[in-house]
Structure 1
Amino acid sequence: MHRRHFLHTLGALGTAGALGSVGGRALAAGPIKGAAEVDDSALAGMSGGRLSAWRGATPAFTLDGLDGRAHALSEWRGRVVILNFWATWCGPCREEIPAMGAVARQYRQRGLALVAVNYKESLATVKPFVDKVPIDGTVLLDTDGAAYKRFDSLGLPATYLIDRAGNARFWRMGELQWSDAGLHGHIETLLTQKGGTTA
């Protein structure tokens, strides 16, 4: 069983019904197709349990962005993606935004992208927040929570590392220590892998 840290579990905040099954996809046995170049289980141990290897298919989604356009996750094929689910009311989410943005900037020229998916809040709520606390990536609106639910997440923030071929490889429930050497090792490894085409 993967060790998890829940800083803001949604059930405790009265959002029952928004939860997926208990990490079913992530806990399913067997390696990800096309991920043979890396021992994901061994890499996940580098961060002292901060990240777990993802198992199973990567859910697809298309969501509206703050730019008014619809964006599919597949748009970032060919890049390594930090996929982060967050909300304005989530304290740990707010706290990690600057450090997460710094990591996105650090590796951007090498092909890292940050996709920050807001959980079940309106444009009228999210836009003023982002104006005050800029997020150094693409902000998408999961207004009904459907995309979040497909990832079987149980709390916020929830972060997934997706490789260039569009496969989720690692995940974390709860705030990440963005200066962690293990996390940077995961990102470095995924950036050196080939796969997919640049969107």
Structure 2
Amino acid sequence: MGTMRGAGIMLAAITVTIAAGVARSGDELPRYRLEPGMELSYKGSSEFQHQNGAHLDDQETTAWVVRRNGDGSVRVVLRQGSRFTSTSLADSLKGLLKKKDKPPMEYNLGYVDLFPDGRIGPDTELGYRINTDALFPRLPDDETQAKAGWSQRDDRMGQEFRYSSLRAEEGGWAFHSERVGSENKIYGMTFKSTFHLDAARGAIRRIENEYTQDYGFKGKGGGSIELTSVETHDAAWLAAFVPAAERYFAASKDYRRATEQASQAADKAKSLLADAKAALESARTAIDHPIFREQLDRQISQHDGMVSYYADSAKRRAEVLNKAAADWELQGLDGKSHALKEYRGKVVVLDFWYRGCGWCIKAMPQLNALAEQFEGRPVAVLGMNTDRKEEDAKFVCEAMGLKYATLRAEGIPEKYGVQGFPTLIVIDPEGTVRDVHVGYSPTLRTDVAKTIEGLLTPEAKPSDKL
């Protein structure tokens, strides 16, 4: 993710102003035209009814435009809040969900560079909690796409958005979208939206969503998001907001880097975590803008509770890294017996997963590509499934078209210190664990491929990668 340092990189909060007037069919296309200083506020809610009850999600998003970039994009700062509430079937039927005491809204901050057609620039800081596609969807490149439909791939979330049915309506445009990803077929999911873009206000003014799911929590739901206000701030406001935002995001990135290092280095975890907290506290002292101070206060208050998590992650990693891989002999979904010793002389990649893990499913296309990339070389990719029901494992393998063997791995995750999913364990040709990858990443395949190439090189030593 990108960082923001120095006076040369100013943040831009997002404002969208499309040419005023009523949209006309055939002689213009919808475009975001953003101006620094504008503030957009959105509110919405959604409800999902399932066989055991219901879930309610309240959302708030504020977007600020702080600068126009030289490439035609604008820097957009986003503050997105979410409040999730669930209730039993009995309470749901009584209509008590919306009356139930609600927890406070949980906020996250991020930024993007947004182009007039909805493209997102490479310098972003969003994590996995901020969804830009909900408020600033991709727009068509030309009249051909406007008529035939267009799409946008989101590698960060491992999904694609397909847009269609652009039409002029009073005051602007409307169009549909459908979210497409691996989870659609694995969980029987659909997620469809209708966007309404207000030409006069220059923004998406309303989004209507509907969705279904046929695995786990089976049911359907829907909701909407509304643009509630558009304000314009002056230069003095921007002069106070921009430096505070820069300091916050720089500190946030430093904190994330330190905690990632701490989770991988048991001997340095304590000092790294202390430095991470100090970075937040230093930023808290330097920043006087209430939005960023409140966010830092929350992060600092949560830090101590996360120390044991990072330290435990580092400890579990150290217990397996550069050690002999735990032995096993397992039954494959192909009906054959597989033993680790049979793969001696090859680099082995173990992917621990289960059907209910959405990030595991999102990672599978990358693992398929990894298996294809090293086909014909001494490399074996093996799925290590932990589902209780074998039919769940078989369904996923068939639906995803996995090109590598999948084994029934009950009891094996503990031997490798696996707690989070997906976890990839990379074992060298001599049977030593050389790398551990936890979680989904858009660059998972390339990261693991780099490790594999290093292990296939004769000069590689067990101590090379720590």
Q: TM-score, normalised by structure 2?
A: 0.31
Residue 93 (structure 1) shift: 0.6
In the alignment, structure 1 residue 106 sits paired with structure 2 residue 106: no
Cα distance change, pair 126–55 in 1 and its aligned pair in 2 (3 A): same
Q: Is the 8 A contact 2:426 2:433 kept in 1?
A: yes
Alpha-carbon contact 1:26-1:56 (below 8 Å) kept: no
- Closer, same or farther in 2 for the Cα pair 1:64/1:179, shift >3 Å? closer
Q: Which of the residues 124, 127, 148 maps onto 2:394?
A: 127
Q: Deviations over 1:88-129 (max 9, x none)?
A: 111111011011111111112221111110013322221122
Letter matched to residue 2 of structure 1? S
Alpha-carbon deviation of 1:133? Answer: 1.0
Unaligned runs of 5+ in 2: 1-261, 266-311, 461-466
The structure having more radius of gyration, on CA atoms, is 2
Q: Distance in 2 between matches of 1:96 and 1:76?
A: 23
Greater length-normalized contact order (CA 8 Å, ≥ 6 residues apart): 1
1:20-35 mapped onto 2 (5 Å cutoff): 22-23=312-313, 24=315, 26-28=317-319
- Give CA-to-partner distance per residue, 1:13-36, whole Å, 9 cap, x none: xxxxxxxxx4545224xxxxxxxx
5 Å-filtered alignment, 1:125-164, equals: 125-142=392-409, 145-164=410-429
- In the other structure, the counterpart of 2:336 is 69
Shift of 1:193: 3.1
Q: Distance in 1 between matches of 2:445 and 2:348?
A: 17
- SS of corresponding position for 2:380: strand
* AA aligned opposite 1:171: V
In structure 2, which of residues 291, 311, 321 is the aligned counterpart of residue 54 of structure 1?
A: 321
Pick from 166, 175, 178 the counterpart of residue 444 of structure 2: 178
For the aligned residue pairs, the C-alpha RMSD in angstroms reads 2.5
Which residue is 1:193 aligned to? Answer: 458
Matched residue, 1:85: 352
How far apart are residue 179 of structure 1 and its match? 4.4
Q: Greater strand share, 1 or 2?
A: 2
Shift of 1:75: 1.4
CA contact (8 A) 1:26 1:55 kept: no
AA paired with 2:444? W
Q: Could you tell me whether the CA contact under 8 Å between 1:85 and 1:118 is conserved in 2?
A: yes
- Distance in 2 separating the partners of 1:153 and 1:66: 21
- SS of the residue 1:170 aligns to: strand
CA separation of 1:185 and 1:129: change in aligned 2, threshold 3 A:
closer
User: What SS is found at the alignment partner of 1:57?
Assistant: coil
How far the C-alpha of 1:3 sits from its partner, in A, is 4.6
Letter in 2 for 1:137: Y
Deviations 1:71-91 (A, max 9, x none): 111211111111110111111
Distance 1:73 1:194 in 2: 24
- How many residue pairs match? The answer is 152
Task: Please state whether the residue corresponding to 1:109 is helix, strand or coil.
Answer: coil
Change (3 A) 1:76 1:27: same
Instruction: Report the secondary structure of 1:125's partner residue.
Output: helix
* TM-score of the aligned structures, taking structure 1 as reference length: 0.68
Partner of 2:309: none
Residue 158 of structure 1 contacts residue 174 of structure 1 at CA under 8 Å; is this kept in 2? yes
Offset from partner CA, 1:132-184 (integer Å, 9 cap, x none): 11222110012xx311111111110000111111111000111242343x433
SS at structure 1 position matched to 2:417 = coil
SS of 2:455 mapped into structure 1: helix
Match for 2:361 among 94, 100, 103?
94
